[in-house]
Amino acid sequence: MSKSLINLDNNSTAILKLNKAELEKSALNLKSSLDALTEYEALYKLQHLIKYRMECVKELAVETFIEKFEGSQSEKDNGFTVTLKNSYEYSYSEYVKVLEKQIKKLQEEAKKEKDKQRESARGKSKGESIALTLH
**Backbone angle region of 120, left / alpha / beta, with phi > 0 → left and psi within -120 to 50 → alpha:** alpha
What pLDDT is stored for residue 53 in this prediction? 93
Q: Say whether 38 sits in a helix, a strand or coil.
A: helix
pLDDT tens digits, 3-57? 667 777 777 778 888 888 998 998 898 889 999 999 999 999 999 999 999 999 9
pLDDT tens digits along 49-64 = 999 999 999 999 888 8
| pLDDT (tens digit per residue) in 67-76 | 888 877 888 8
Per-residue pLDDT tens for 87-128?
A: 788 899 999 999 999 999 999 999 999 988 887 877 788 888
Q: Do residues 19 and 79 touch, judged by C-beta distance below 8 A? A: yes
